[in-house]
Structure 1
Amino acid sequence: MRPLPLLLLLPSFAALAQPVAALQPMAFLAGHCWKGEFSGGKQTDEHCFQWLYGGQMLRDVHTVRSPGKPDYVGETTYYHDPAANKVAFLYLENSGGHSRGTMQPVDGGLDFPATDYVGAKGKTLTYRVRWTPSGDAYEAASEMLLDGRWVPQFKLLLKKQ
């Protein structure tokens, strides 16, 4: 028996999983990494997506890299919440912050309605995001709630790697 060659094939099987119906709008992301540069060109953000448990969930591991600084790393798990009949997510990151929210497919993209990010020290930031796919890329546009109004936080074009 030679188990090692079989283990090397596992990542490709994970990319080919059939997702549950609720996660189908996110299927274009699975099995790929997507990378974008923040304005100024000094920071990058890379998201790598893979199916979990035969398509029951989708994992997104993302890393923000900045010269001379430790990487900012986070992981999001998307899943169908049958009680709410929505796609929900849990986000955890390496500095101790977290977020819970939902995703809604909309014409032309994916909406992540307003939710709270809670930092390690308890400070809360309310934010919302829209992902708009376009060929081998998608645009991520994030807004934050500041003094009762929505203001741009960032806009990033992530390209398939």
Structure 2
Amino acid sequence: VHTELEMESRYEVLMENYCKVLHIEALTMIDMAKKDIFPSVLKYLHEIANTVNALKTFLPQAKLKGQERIARTLALLFDQADEQLQSLEKEVDKTKDIEGVTKTATYYAEKIIPAMNALRESCDEMECLTSKEHWPFPSYADLLFRV
């Protein structure tokens, strides 16, 4: 049986750990998006645009609607993910000014996790449209069935 002081101490240690883990996860997500996902998607978009332009020159009668649709959708998703990344960075930066472990943990639960989930959803959608050669990480299928 723990005293009230021991229980409060354990609670504080657990909440501090929760905040530290989420902080590391958020910073890792920001880093992965900036250094891996975004450059890969931009490179793929560049290749699609070059291919469409080359095909229009070579085959002016080709409609190329599918290629243009993929490029347009990917570009819109990229813009959305970029906004979400900026939002996540701002939310993470705000955690420096929060006092108290309970308030900090609540902020992570209410602000950081939803911001991370939003960015993840956009990146997951971009993954579905980006060629395997360009995507910087193993796909879910690779992780589940090919490891």
- Bigger fraction of residues in strand: 1
User: TM-score band, normalised by the shorter chain?
Assistant: under 0.3
- Name the larger-Rg structure: 2
Normalising by structure 2, we get a TM-score of 0.24
TM-score (normalizing by structure 1) = 0.22
Bigger RCO of structures 1 and 2 (CA < 8 A, at least 6 apart): 2
